[in-house]
Amino acid sequence: MLFIFGQNEASKKVIIIDPGHGGNDSGAIGANGVLEKDVVLNIASEIIRLNRTLFEDSFDIYLTRYKDTLISLGDRTNLAKTLKADAFLSLHCNASNVISKGMEVYVHHSDKPLPKTSVWLGLFVLNESTEKLGFKKRGVKFANFQVLREVIDFCPTILIETGFVTNLDEADYFL
């Protein structure tokens, strides 16, 4: 089947999914007690499952962590460089002391070509996700987070805030 489309195993796109936090770093704690580190690891595992079942392993997807362990930010970014990733997606959940809801995506601001591709990737992920989940769309924003800053020279890179664990409706969705 791969030969029909002129593809082979070597042409698979390499995607790094970075479930944020882990180990003794729980990240945000949700209104219902859900932990950010668990939510994003579950989302990353679901992405792998969907790649296998819906997309017939069309992508080579690697996680920066596969269980509840803390991986340094440097090691997370080094994985993308070592595997020559085609895209890097860091998954997080938002938190706020005031009532907030919705998803947002962050990209690194730079004049180089890859940040522009990152913006397009961020817009696509944000539009598709909010449409399917019914979450409010908070937009694509710029930030200087370490994982964005250190990977952007190698591949399109985005950091996704999947929703607010401090918002009871969104936190319940993550259970």
CA distances from 50 to 6, 27, 102, 112, 130 (A): 23, 25, 23, 32, 18
Indicate the DSSP class of residue 31.
T
CB of 94 within 8 A of CB of 39? no
Q: Is 161 a catalytic residue?
A: yes
- Closest by Cα among 9, 32, 165, 156 to 92: 165
Give the residue among 122, 116, 131, 59 at the shortest CA–CA distance from 90: 122
Q: What is the three-state SS of 85-110?
A: CCEEEEEEEECCCCCCCCEEEEECCC
Q: Which residue stretches of 9-60 are H helix?
A: 36-53
* Catalytic entry in 36, 104, 150, 161: 161
Residues with catalytic roles: 161
